[in-house]
Amino acid sequence: MDTHRIKERADALAGESRWGDLLAFLDRLPARERLASTAVAYRFGEALYHLGRMESLARHAEAFEAAARQGRDVAGIMRALNLGGIAAFELGRPEEARQAFESLMALAEAEQDQDMLARSSLNLGAIANLEGSPAAALSLYQLALPLFHRLGQTRGMSQTHQSLAMSYRDLRRYAEAEDEYREAVRLGLGFGYTPIVAMAVIGRAEILVLRGDPQTALGLVEWGLHLSRQLGDPISEGTGYRVRAQARMAQALVAEAAEDLDEALRLARSTKNPLLEAETLRDLGRLAIHSGDELAARGHFSSAGEAFGRLGSAHAVLELRRELEQLDAGPPAA
């Protein structure tokens, strides 16, 4: 099969979010043939990402970048930097990710590549949000959004709206967060991009729990979990279990919440996703407090704090310390 037909088939599978089929199709090709086409190499990276194969993605991005540099393919270099930065971020290496995205931004500006400039802004915003700077993240997202709009890239727009929602969540601006998640879902449904729909639905469910509506949240998160399982996306599915546990805990369904968090932790560790693992350990600590098991809570908070620390998420570590201080202080006097 010639390169043009390979690209056509890969684009069709990606357009239908058939990531497992896409990976199987491209994995049959010799590595040299995969790397010979920037478009094919990028699609292979997308499949690895959506299937939670982050270590494989990191290795592929490194080989992709080396091949692109050897061929003096600037477009390929930029896309390899983007994939490599994403892999580093998901594997809990934020400094490595930042370097990749900053290099990408500089190259995109020099080449006047609006697509890669938007993506570098979006991904640098994700790092800023993780590090506890949601206001800085908002600025980067607000740079990316009009670029994607100008390019007519609905997928990029939906991803940016989801990212905006997460920053508004962290700023406790819950109404704005819910609006952004709704927009991400609307755009995702409009062009059939199921992965963003799944994550945005689950994200909106988390906002509903925070706003005191766990019953509606449960209905939404079930939809998100169904989509995640259909896609074979273990990270999205794990996040869904974590959010469903929050909703169940709000309804005093402790045993069910514990089962969900155990499954979320299993998926986090099987995919080696440090952020999902850290968030799940934190939520296990909160569930232990709810159950009156202070010793277990301290253990989970300690593990979560170490995990967030490795991610460079100082604000999350500080939040956990405050929760531990509350444990030390004991219940308020009657």
Point out the domain boundary residue: 164, 192, 220: 192
Question: What CATH number does the domain containing 67 carry?
Answer: 1.25.40.10
Residue 252 falls in which region: left (phi positive, over 0), alpha (psi -120 to 50) or beta: left
Using the structure block, give the residue that is written with the tokens 């990276």.
Answer: 45
Q: φ and ψ at 30, to 5 degrees?
A: -60, 145
Reduce the DSSP state of residue 40 to 3 states and report it: helix
Question: Residue 119 domain-assigned?
Answer: yes
Residue ending a domain, among 171, 192, 213, is 192
* 123, 168: one domain: yes
What does the pLDDT read at residue 331? 61
Q: Is the domain of 82 the same as that of 4?
A: yes
Q: Are residues 7 and 99 in the same domain?
A: yes
Residue type, 129: N
Q: What is the pLDDT of residue 34?
A: 93
Residue 334 within any structural domain of the chain: no
Q: Which of 267, 293, 311 is the last residue of a domain?
A: 267
Which domain, by its residues, includes 43? 1-104
> What is the pLDDT at residue 306?
93
Q: CA-CA distance, 243 to 305, in Å (whole number)?
A: 19
Instruction: Quote the CA–CA distance of 300 and 303 in Å, as a whole number.
Output: 5
How high is the pLDDT of residue 325?
A: 87
Question: Contact at 8 Å (CB) between 87 and 58?
Answer: yes
Contact between residue 187 and residue 195 where contact means Cβ atoms under 8 Å apart: no
In a domain, 174, yes or no: yes
Same-domain check for residues 40 and 99: yes
On whether the CB atoms of residues 25 and 13 are closer than 8 A, the answer is yes
pTM: 0.90
DSSP 130: H
Provide the residue type at 201 as one letter: V
Dihedral (CA of 143, 207, 203, 94) sign: positive
Average pLDDT along the chain, 334 residues, taken 10 residues at a time: 88 91 95 93 96 94 97 97 96 94 97 96 96 93 96 95 96 96 96 93 98 97 97 95 98 97 97 94 95 93 93 90 82 52
